[in-house]
Structure 1
Amino acid sequence: MNKFVKYTLIGLVVLGALWAAVFFIKSNSKSSITYETSSPFISSIEKKTVATGKLIPEDEIEIKPQISGIIEKVYLEEGVEVKAGDLIAVIKVVPNEQSLNQAKGRVNSANISLSNIKIEYDRNKTLFDKGVISSQNFNDLKLRYDQAQQELQNAQADYQIIRVGSTGGSSSANTNIRATVNGTILEIPVEEGDQVIQSNNFNDGTTIATIADLSKMIFEGKVDEGEVGKLKVGAPLKINLGAVEGKELNAKLRFIAPKGIEETGAVQFKIEGDVENTDDIFIRAGYSANASLVLEKKDSVLVIPEALLQFDRQTDKPYVEVAIGSVEEQKFERKDIEIGISDGINVEIISGLTKEDKVKQWNKTEPVKKGEEEGAEEESVE
């Protein structure tokens, strides 16, 4: 009986060991990876770049005063459409005391001169009527009298302009700020009571209003020096606005800057494009925008997904692995290839592959088992 129990226990131990071995082998064995393949195909491919920028009016006019003073009244608001000649604001003149005093003194001097010449003119006119003096002498005196009258009128007009901003007979007073072009008022940076400076040779003057035609917009952006050489004036642009989703505007490249500007270590070149008008989108000046430009395009070329490419670690040249025989055999050989342009998804194949080749999807990975995933998490926690 003891022998029977003994052999029974030995048998159970052996069976347990065998079962543990089988379980260990099964739990640690991994199924072999079956690689899928893809075939090259014919397609069109475009190499694009994106330029960031904004939309601005083609013509933006700043309205500046012709005389210094204080804003007395603003009649219009930002966003209002105006026509040339519409009154925007009125300036109240605050004359310079020195200039005003000088102008007043000039009026007094002209008055004195006119009074003296008038006395002489009246006396000589009587003598001329009696035939005492010649007509030449009288005409010279009359010329001096007329000039004195004109000088007085000029001095009075200058005094009036300095004092109130315009002469009494002026049809367009300098104090009236009017629109010079048709368009939309983009900005009125002044308020009633603000002091403004006139535009002159030494000062740009204070901007009263900015007017632009929003129906004529341009895209202004920048591209990197590595791509600017592939751009051509007249090339089509696709404009996407950050403020308007789902809408794309058409444009044409019209300007490429001849000189670049260095920004954060990279040289950028300014570009401009004429944006085509669209009635279903109201475009505001200053919208941020991205312009998609086609740098290079090829139609009906042999391509493969860029994810299938591999690169030699030493030469950095591209290659792929092609199936030998049937795909089920999972036998592959290396083929060096020559590639062309890429759009980030597909890449052009210049040589090395045909449409019949089966290219290995080399970066496929085996799904991680649940038990292995939990074990990996525990190891990472430790």
Structure 2
Amino acid sequence: MKKVLKILSGVLFVALLVGTFWFLWRKTRPVKILYAIVQPATDTLKQYVVATGKVQPRDEVEIKPQISGIISDVYKEAGETVRQGEVIATVKVVPEMGQLSSAESRVSVAEISLAQVRREYDRTAALHEKGIVSDEETEQSRTELAKAEEELRNAQENLEIVKEGIASRFAELSNTQIRSTIDGMILDVPIKVGNSVIQANTFNDGTTIATVADMSNMQFQGNVDETDVGKLHEGMPVQLTIGALQNVELDARLEYVAPKSTESNGVILFEVKAAVEIPEGVFVRAGYSANASVVIRSREGVLTLPEGCVEFEEGKTYVQVLTGPEDAEEQTFERREVKVGLSDGVNIEITEGVTADDKVRGARIDQK
């Protein structure tokens, strides 16, 4: 038993000694670094200025009442489409007691006056038939009767307006019916039946009955940094990316660059707007956040390399060109000066120094 233990101890000691020497030998070996090999490719490069903002309808209006009262009916909901002049809600007028009393009194006075004028006219007409009263006096009496009848109609219509908000003969023009002023989609109806509303006037904006917008005419509204605004001008093509719409890019065209800046958290920004083209079958909701990429420079069919392959040193640019076989145990490279052009932040244009057949050192991938 003791002999077996001695043998096992010896084997373990030898194995430990061999492992130690192997580890030290591995540590003293030179490190071999492997790099990915990249070949120049022909591609299209575009340089962008990015603006962040949201997509909004170009025409968005708030519908407000022209009379104060209480909402008696609501006929539309958010998301429904309406035509210009279509009724959205109805307002029930709550008459002011002073005005109501005055209107009723005016009707009573007009009725009394009409009765008196009618009696005078009947008397004059009877005397005229007997030849006692002249034609002129009869005509004047008839005119007074017509005036009294008109005054009564006006007083009755005024009473209707005080009570109902509109006279019966002008029912089609009733301002108690709140109508849409444009064609579009209802974005919001913030009122309910029973809510009190105030008419729009010089001193008050009035209660909003609904918000209506033309969803077929959308506009991107965003901001760009002051360092980029000088590169923009009206008419430039824009690509919109909307986070809520996966795999959908919308085309737009820049139509406004603000002449005056705004400041947000110490950053100077300039507002930009772009007309958005909505393709058929795509529904863009008002207020979607979006990123707008404005193409400021573009080069097609140029030789490119990943920007990480290029070394920048003292105003010059270099690449490491593979000089040996790609599958050789040890990679060898030649440092070569090149001239570069447009960069999109990922790839860079190579104008001189390498060809499409050259192989260039890329990122470090392994070491052994």
**TM-score, L = length of structure 1:** 0.74
Deviation at 1:324, TM superposition (A): 9.5
Deviation at 1:360, TM superposition (A): 4.7
Deviation at 1:64, TM superposition (A): 1.5
Cα–Cα, structure 1 residues 147 and 229, in superposed 2: closer, same or farther, change >3 Å? Answer: farther
Residue matched to 2:227: 226
Identity of aligned residues (%): 39
Distance 1:227 1:76 in 2: 45
Contact 1:261 1:267 in 2 (8 A): yes
Distance 1:266 1:34 in 2: 46
Residue matched to 2:295: 294
Residue matched to 1:65: 65
Equivalent residues in 2 for 1:1-382, closer than 5 Å: 24=24, 26-33=26-33, 38=38, 40-108=40-108, 110=110, 130=131, 135=136, 146-172=146-172, 173-264=174-265, 265-279=267-281, 281-312=282-313, 317-323=315-321, 330=332, 332-333=334-335, 335=337, 339-349=340-350, 359-361=360-362, 364=364, 367=367
* Corresponding letter in the other structure for 2:98: Q
Show CA shifts across 1:246-278 (max 9, x none). Answer: 222223333333333222222232312222332
Cα–Cα, structure 1 residues 117 and 43, in superposed 2: closer, same or farther, change >3 Å? Answer: same
Deviation at 1:199, TM superposition (A): 1.7
Cα–Cα, structure 1 residues 38 and 138, in superposed 2: closer, same or farther, change >3 Å? Answer: same
Show CA shifts across 1:115-166 (max 9, x none). Answer: 666677667667777476684x776776666445434433332232122111
Deviation at 1:193, TM superposition (A): 1.0
Deviation at 1:68, TM superposition (A): 0.5
Contact 2:257 2:270 in 1 (8 A): no
Cα–Cα, structure 1 residues 248 and 41, in superposed 2: closer, same or farther, change >3 Å? Answer: closer
Deviation at 1:174, TM superposition (A): 2.0
* Corresponding letter in the other structure for 2:67: I
SS at match of 2:284: coil
Contact 2:36 2:365 in 1 (8 A): no
Cα–Cα, structure 1 residues 236 and 161, in superposed 2: closer, same or farther, change >3 Å? Answer: same
Could you tell me which runs of 5 or more consecutive residues in structure 1 were left unpaired when the two chains were aligned. Answer: 1-16, 370-382
SS at match of 1:77: coil
SS at match of 2:222: strand
* Corresponding letter in the other structure for 1:45: L
Deviation at 1:243, TM superposition (A): 1.7
Contact 1:53 1:289 in 2 (8 A): yes
Distance 2:76 2:212 in 1: 12
* Corresponding letter in the other structure for 2:234: V
Residue matched to 1:377: none
SS at match of 2:364: coil
Residue matched to 1:376: none
> How many residue pairs align between the two structures?
346
Cα–Cα, structure 1 residues 341 and 93, in superposed 2: closer, same or farther, change >3 Å? Answer: same
Cα–Cα, structure 1 residues 120 and 201, in superposed 2: closer, same or farther, change >3 Å? Answer: farther
SS at match of 1:156: helix
Cα–Cα, structure 1 residues 22 and 48, in superposed 2: closer, same or farther, change >3 Å? Answer: same
Distance 2:298 2:177 in 1: 56
Cα–Cα, structure 1 residues 23 and 79, in superposed 2: closer, same or farther, change >3 Å? Answer: closer
Deviation at 1:71, TM superposition (A): 0.9
Deviation at 1:230, TM superposition (A): 2.6
SS at match of 1:171: helix
* Corresponding letter in the other structure for 1:89: A
Residue matched to 2:10: none
* Corresponding letter in the other structure for 1:187: D
SS at match of 1:170: helix
- Between 1:141-150 and 1:244-253, the stretch displaced more is 141-150
SS at match of 2:293: strand
Show CA shifts across 1:269-308 (max 9, x none). Answer: 23122223322x3332222222222111122334332112
Cα–Cα, structure 1 residues 168 and 38, in superposed 2: closer, same or farther, change >3 Å? Answer: closer
Could you tell me which runs of 5 or more consecutive residues in structure 2 were left unpaired when the two chains were aligned. Answer: 1-16
Cα–Cα, structure 1 residues 301 and 98, in superposed 2: closer, same or farther, change >3 Å? Answer: same
Distance 1:120 1:258 in 2: 76
Cα–Cα, structure 1 residues 103 and 332, in superposed 2: closer, same or farther, change >3 Å? Answer: same
Structure holding more strand per residue: 2
Contact 2:233 2:254 in 1 (8 A): yes
Contact 2:35 2:366 in 1 (8 A): no
Cα–Cα, structure 1 residues 26 and 77, in superposed 2: closer, same or farther, change >3 Å? Answer: closer
- Between 1:289-298 and 1:227-236, the stretch displaced more is 227-236
Contact 1:215 1:277 in 2 (8 A): no
Alignment RMSD (CA, Å): 3.7
SS at match of 1:255: strand
**TM-score, L = length of structure 2:** 0.76
Contact 1:37 1:360 in 2 (8 A): yes
